[in-house]
Amino acid sequence: MNADASKDDARAHGDPGQHDPGARDAWVVLLVDDEPEIHEITRLVLADTSFSGIPVELHSAYSASEAKTFLESHRDTALMLLDVVMETDDAGLRLVNYVREQIGNTDLQIVLRTGQPGMAPEREVIPRYDINGYFLKTEMVAQKLRSIVISSLRAYRYIKTLRPLQARATSAPVRVFDGYQQLATAEAFAKAIETNALQLLAQPQVHLVSGEIAAIELIPNWRRGDTVLGPAQLTEEIRDPELRLKFDEWLIRQGCAWAHSWQSVGLPPFRISLPVMTENIWDPEILSIVERHLSRLALPRDTLDLEVPETALLGERPNARDAVALMQSIGISVTLVDFGLGILSLPQLQRLLPSRVKIHKSFVRHVTQDRERSAIARSIIALAHTLGLTVIADGIVGEQDLQFFKWESCDIGQGDLLVGALAVADVSAALLSGAAPADWTAYLH
């Protein structure tokens, strides 16, 4: 029995990761097309189709008007296969706007199938309408149609799985800071940058298959009195864009300096991953800073990986994709961090296409002990791999967690079980000794 078959068999016999928080009797799929033969063929092709052990239930609407009526009474519709030209030349496109804007349904997966591409050219439709796929009817052979349905249902399940967690995240109390306190904090932080008083830890990211180092993340900490603020706390405390940019330049300078010191003694050119705070990743100043420090030390362009939060991509960010593409074109990778906890939509992720996504720790730690958590982690991995992205599981603390992510073909792991965060000097000692990451605990003080 091959690995995939073994995995399917294990899930069929009660693997906790197979639990679907949005349990249902069937996946509701709506076909909207004014050609009866399209309905007949589609129904024939999708007969007996199921996903995750749940059957696909195909419903028909022969006009946009019928589709609206159906959607109003079937809020759990997962996928709509939609024609463009029906009662009017743009009936399908108007229906997309109705779904997204008027009834506010952003979870429904919408795939356009058109027999008249001249009426709705793909190059115009994709940027203007919030759809999840575009295909010509002539392309829609049986296997292609089944693949589209399954991948769309997988994306829908992923979105529905995250909704309860997003609701809890957005309902968390908002911290309100006193203006004078913010100013004092900003001044103290600026001084810490200028005097090089920030502490820098390092933690390797490890290929789960080979156990080799994929990258080394530099983790800044700021000790303020009895409190130590890590990257997440710093992002919350420091709001001023100029100060964030100043910090990012310090971090990029540190990353390049350590990369240079490791390469100068003959170590492999490790990728250095940096949790930058600047949300405007399309700001030319960021690329200018990166280029300047890489050039100053004659480092390869693929030395750096910039970790950015989902908030950098929310709303209308027309230049975000261009900025990411430009960085990727010269070798700099971009990692979307804390993935799964925010409210980034699938179309936004598809448009941005970062190099890597890092699963939030809350979905990684003790993943095998919680059905919902394991379902979310599995969905994120499947979604990212569908888009061709590398996946990092951040926060692996137990052997069962490690085996789960290996089993699910996650690419990279990070966490205390693999290697805890060390002072950068200790990382240097471990690297120079030639010790494998699993043996780095000997360098903890």
Task: Give the single-character DSSP code of 319.
Answer: T
Residue 314 lies in a domain: yes
Domain co-membership, 295 together with 159: no
Residue 100 lies in a domain: yes
Structure tokens at 281: 């990743």
Interval 34-46: pLDDT, tens: 999 999 999 999 9
Task: Tell me how many degrees the CA angle 45-48-49 measures, rounded to the nearest 5.
Answer: 70
Q: Using 50, 70 and 90 to split pLDDT, how confident is the model at 81?
A: very high
Mean pLDDT is lowest, of 106-110, 154-158, 400-404, for 154-158
- From the list 315, 375, 324, 325, the residue with the least C-alpha distance to 345 is 315
Choose between 174 and 380: higher pLDDT: 380
Residue 174 lies in a domain: no
Residue 234 lies in a domain: yes
Choose between 116 and 178: higher pLDDT: 116
Q: What pLDDT was estimated at residue 355?
A: 92
Domain co-membership, 163 together with 16: yes
Strands 213-224 and 227-229: antiparallel
Q: What pLDDT was estimated at residue 70?
A: 95
**119, 141, 169 - which closes a domain:** 169
Domain co-membership, 133 together with 236: no
Task: Tell me how many degrees the CA angle 409-411-414 measures, rounded to the nearest 5.
Answer: 120
385 has pLDDT over 70: yes
**135, 169, 203 - which closes a domain:** 169
Domain co-membership, 147 together with 48: yes
**149, 169, 189 - which closes a domain:** 169
**Three-state DSSP class for residue 37:** helix
Mean pLDDT, residues 263-276 taken together? 89
C-alpha to C-alpha distance for 285 and 290, rounded to whole angstroms: 9
Residue 202 lies in a domain: yes
Domain co-membership, 205 together with 163: no
Interval 198-217: pLDDT, tens: 999 999 999 999 988 999 99
Q: What pLDDT was estimated at residue 288?
A: 86
Domain co-membership, 39 together with 157: yes
C-alpha to C-alpha distance for 17 and 358, rounded to whole angstroms: 19
CATH number at residue 152: 3.40.50.2300
- Answer whether 216's CB lies under 8 Å from 271's CB: yes
C-alpha to C-alpha distance for 42 and 160, rounded to whole angstroms: 25
Mean pLDDT, residues 123-143 taken together? 78
Domain co-membership, 42 together with 143: yes
Angle between helix axes 142-170 and 371-386 (nearest 10 degrees) is 130
Domain co-membership, 78 together with 160: yes
Interval 147-202: pLDDT, tens: 889 888 887 887 777 666 555 544 555 555 455 567 778 888 989 998 888 999 99
Residue 175 lies in a domain: no
Percent of the chain at pLDDT above 70? 83
- From the list 28, 4, 40, 29, the residue with the least C-alpha distance to 82 is 29
Structural domains in the chain (count) = 2
Percent of the chain at pLDDT above 90? 37
Residue 434 lies in a domain: yes
- Answer whether 206's CB lies under 8 Å from 212's CB: yes
Domain co-membership, 215 together with 136: no
Question: What is the number of other CB atoms lying within 10 angstroms of the CB of residue 121?
Answer: 11
Domain co-membership, 205 together with 255: yes
Range of the domain at 185: 180-443
387 has pLDDT over 60: yes
Choose between 22 and 437: higher pLDDT: 437
Q: Using 50, 70 and 90 to split pLDDT, how confident is the model at 220?
A: very high
Choose between 184 and 16: higher pLDDT: 184
Domain co-membership, 165 together with 184: no
362 has pLDDT over 70: yes
Domain co-membership, 102 together with 215: no
Structure tokens at 145: 């149609």
CATH number at residue 255: 3.20.20.450
